[in-house]
Structure 1
Amino acid sequence: MTDDHKKPIEKQLPNNQTQNTAQQPKNVATAASIIPNTSDQTNTKAPKVAEPQIKKVDIAIAGVNYPIYCPVHEQEELHSAVSYINNYALDLKRDAPSLSQESLLVLCCLSLYEKIHANQRTSEDRLQQDKQSEALLNKIMKDAQSIL
């Protein structure tokens, strides 16, 4: 077993991705503010677009810590997702304690995908049933109106 799963995520990315993520300045000038103004209006400035604030958040899944860069306004959702995934992974680990961390996470992803896909099928089935019910109700109403 290798120790790759213990390394922070940014260390596992190619160098150019790690450097881009870690070295992004907080207040990056927009392209509109860098390009000289060639219009007749000399006193107007292009409005600056606020960059989302990114924060490094350390998460733990099945006992392994991972640093994640997350927009500040999405931290609550991230913690909720981590809690769900961690509980799911720990349940899988209880059933198969000899699985490596990588195998555990792959199995977790596949199982969660299966749940998502089943939920989508259920939603599609419900939508189809709603359409059939509506068509039947319309037919009943039309038949009832023709009798009256």
Structure 2
Amino acid sequence: MTDDQSKSIEKQPKNNPTPHSQAPSKGLPAQKSAQAGTTASSTVAKANTKTTNTPEPQIKKVDIAIAGVTYPIFCPVHEQEELLSAVSYINNYALDLKREAPSLSQESILVLCCLNLYEKIHANQRSDEDRLQHEKQSQALLNKIMKDAHSIL
């Protein structure tokens, strides 16, 4: 997801001539220029154009609304569903904040949303780290039990 329009513009192929192609000289018909050797470079330029025209991800402008304010977002088509899911979550949280504190500005609401999301992300990271630590401890304990069991047998 991105709201940077310049990225979508950068991905579009440019219609500038390639440095190898030559425009016909002033006063000379195109045939004479072609006879002068530009046919080969034009063919190379056309071949290069065909190989560089790889399909880029399609970017779509999506208008999203958070707490009553609409924002234009440029999003790859394949990420649109995820964007709308995120907007739904953030909008619900922002509307709850707005109901609890109607005097908050839109900027303050969004800052609080960001802080809340960071807190949730950080809590998930800690939870994952704790889970990994418990798995290591469990594996070590299981290995010790198996080693003791083998030594008894």
TM range (shorter): 0.7 to 0.9
Distance 1:21 1:136, change over 3 A: closer
1:13 paired residue number: none
Which of 25, 28, 41 is the matching residue for 2:13?
Answer: 28
2:58 paired residue number: 53
Does the 8 Å CA contact 1:55/1:72 hold for their aligned counterparts?
A: yes
Structure 2 counterpart SS, 1:51: coil
Deviations 1:80-105, CA, capped at 9 Å, x for gaps: 01001111111122221110000110
2:80 paired residue number: 75
Percent of aligned pairs sharing the same letter: 71
1:7 paired residue number: none
Gap runs ≥5 in structure 2: 21-43
- 2:150 aligned with 1:142, yes or no? no
Distance 1:26 1:142, change over 3 A: closer
Does the 8 Å CA contact 2:66/2:87 hold for their aligned counterparts?
A: yes
Q: Give the C-alpha shift of residue 112 in structure 1.
A: 1.2
Question: Which 4+ runs in 1 deviate beyond 4 A?
Answer: 33-36, 42-45
Distance 1:26 1:140, change over 3 A: closer
Higher relative contact order (CA 8 A, sep 6+): 2
Name the count of aligned residue pairs. Answer: 126
- Structure having the larger proportion of residues in helix: 2
- 2:124 aligned with 1:98, yes or no? no
Does the 8 Å CA contact 1:62/1:86 hold for their aligned counterparts?
A: yes
In the superposition, the TM-score normalised over structure 1's length comes to 0.73
Q: Over the residues paired in the alignment, what is the CA RMSD in angstroms?
A: 3.0
2:134 paired residue number: 129
- 2:67 aligned with 1:62, yes or no? yes
